[in-house]
Amino acid sequence: MSRIGKKPVAVPDGVEVSVAGRKVTIKGKLGTLAYEHRPEVTVAYDAAAKQIVVTRKGDERQTRAYHGMTRALLANMVEGVTKGYERGLEIVGRGYEAKLQGKKLLLTVGYADTREFQIPDHLKVEVPTPTVVVVKGCDKQAVGELAAEIRATRKPEPYLGKGIRYRGEVVRRKAGKAFAGTGG
């Protein structure tokens, strides 16, 4: 049996869970998230015990994988609507900076033009300093996806370390060209 899948998901106070067929909707103080699970698993909400229980119909390898994945996604949804998720990005490089202009994030990262990102309505982007960008939201996947798209505009390069990196990411540096010292 899936070790992750058999653990019930605890639902804290202030979170509403509704299961209608295969669609699970979780509503909390930070927003509402919905998920339609696979037909190989069954999701039930126990209101008395305040927990979500995921069970599977078969014992095939793929079904066991869906069992654990469904439970993990539901746990992430519960955490998202209560605490929320955030992903920090650091911009390293001379003249590299980020600006917020309404619902757009403007990046100046060494290209001839400024790169623009339209911020989705369900996410929040903050720029506390010109070299730090913070993406916040209740949907873990959407937060990670937007952060990855921002990072992809100028990935950190290994020689000078310039570019956009996740907060705390270690960029492995390479040595430049070696000087032979013989004049010819």
The pLDDT value given to residue 183? 59
Kindly list the structural domains of the chain, giving each domain's residue range(s) and its CATH number in brackets, ordered by start.
9-82 (3.90.930.12), 85-166 (3.90.930.12)
The pLDDT value given to residue 184? 54
Q: What's 63's DSSP letter? A: H
- CB count within 10 Å of CB 56 equals 22
74 with 9: CB under 8 angstroms?
A: yes
Closest CA to 120 of 106, 137, 132, 99: 137
50 Cβ contact list (under 8 Å, min separation 6): 10, 11, 12, 13
Comparing 55 with 177, the larger pLDDT belongs to: 55
127 with 85: CB under 8 angstroms?
A: no
Report the C-alpha dihedral over residues 59, 63, 69, 73, rounded to 10 degrees: -110
Instruction: Return the biggest CA–CA distance within the chain.
Output: 85
Determine what percent of the chain is predicted with pLDDT higher than 70: 96
Q: What does the block give as tokens for 1? A: 């049996």
Query: SS3 string of 108-152?
Result: ECCCCCCEEEECCCCEEEEEEECCEEEEEECCHHHHHHHHHHHHH
> Tell me: the pLDDT tens digits for 8-36?
999 999 999 999 988 999 999 999 999 99
What is the Cα 96 distance to its own chain's centre?
A: 24
The pLDDT value given to residue 1? 46
| pLDDT-based confidence at residue 181 (cuts at 50, 70, 90) | low
